[in-house]
Structure 1
Amino acid sequence: MSFRTRRMVEFRDTDAAGIVHFSAFFPWMESAEHEMLRSLGIKVLPESHDDPSVTWPRVSVSCDYANVARFEDWLDIDVSVVKTGRSSVQYRLAFSRQGGDGGVIPIATGTIVAVCCRLRPGGGLEKAVIPDDIRAKLDAV
């Protein structure tokens, strides 16, 4: 099972040839991750240092490119949980678009590894074990 969202390629996302610049994929990956977390009822960021909720800083992000996407293309982004560790989670993000014949054209595949953390009073982060209720939600994706 995975979570799906869509994005239209904006002019600002392209290079001089009208092709999506490689760097545009990274904010899209973060945004898709956040949409997926919110859809599961998981906060992206605690409201204060007193909030016992967790946050998810990234420790590794990568993206491999297969085909071009262009200005005004609609991209489907499928987010799936590849691995849930004690305090980390690895996501796979698959970008694709519809071809002229109705087939699916793979565009790129990204990976995010995020670590579960709590905000320390006074600032800073402290690695934490993923709470059981959140782990159950992530394992369902």
Structure 2
Amino acid sequence: MRAQNGAQPFTHRCRVYYEDTDAGGIVYYVNYLKFMERARTERLRDLGFAQSELVGENLLFVVHSSEARYHAPARLDDELSVSAEVIELNRASLRFRQQVRRVADDALLCEGQFLVACVRADSLKPRAIPEVLRAAFANGSGLSLAGD
């Protein structure tokens, strides 16, 4: 199922620290993936679900596949805004569209899509996303659950 239009994507703010940069003083490319992971985790928290509690429910979200495009560098002390928008909600997976922007000038630095699978914590086998979580993602993202 695809996203309906109108909903604003969730954003998480963070700052670039020295440890995030490479020898050239810019954010090392793989750290954008970390920033986006944190935004997805904070999106879950914003919906009322902590990852630590989900593990207790025998549920994990794992990245199945990722795609990233890099447009401009972030540098030490830049404040970043990282979006996490669910654009597809399936029985056992979610697809996120994400962007990393510099707050000072709203420059797009990196964008990507991530397919995140729901699996059992004990066996890592796929499992259905619980209905309460599906409904929270659908309501928070402008998705429709009808016609699954």
Q: Which category of TM-score, normalised to the shorter sequence, fits these structures?
A: 0.7 to 0.9
Q: Residues 21-53 of structure 1: CA distance to partner in whole angstroms, max 9, x if unpaired?
A: 1011111111111111111112324576xx435
Structure 2 unmatched runs, 5+: 1-7, 142-148
2:108 to 106, 109, 113: 106
Using a 3 Å threshold, how does the CA distance of structure 1 residues 47 and 77 change in structure 2: closer, same or farther?
closer
Q: Superposition pairs for residues 20-35 of structure 1, below 5 Å?
A: 20-35=27-42
The gaps in structure 1 that reach 5 residues or longer are none
What CA RMSD, in Å, does the superposition of the two structures yield over aligned residues?
A: 1.7
Give, in angstroms, the shift of residue 127 of structure 1.
Answer: 0.9
| Corresponding residue SS for 2:137 | helix
Equivalent AA in structure 1 for residue 18 of structure 2: F
**In structure 2, C-alpha distance between the alignment counterparts of 1:75 and 1:47, rounded to whole Å:** 28
Return the letter of the residue paired with 1:35. Answer: E
- Is the 2:99–2:112 Cα contact (8 Å) retained in structure 1? yes
Higher relative CO (Cα under 8 Å, sequence separation at least 6) belongs to 2
How many residues are paired up? Answer: 133
Residue deviations 1:94-141 (CA, integer Å, cap 9, x gap): 111134xxx421111022211111223xxx222111121111111122
CA distance in 2, matches of 1:31, 1:67: 20
- The answer (yes or no) to whether the contact 2:9–2:85 under 8 Å persists in 1 is yes
The structure that has the greater radius of gyration is 1
1:44 is matched with 51
Shift of 1:18: 1.0
CA distance in 1, matches of 2:41, 2:128: 19
How far, CA to CA, are the matches of 2:50 and 2:125 in structure 1?
17
Amino acid of the structure 2 residue aligned with 1:7: C
Residue 2 of structure 1 corresponds to 9
Aligned to 2:3: none
- Contact conserved, 2:83 with 2:98, CA < 8 A, in 1? yes
Q: TM-score, normalised by structure 2?
A: 0.81
Distance between the aligned counterparts of 2:72 and 2:34, measured in 1? 18
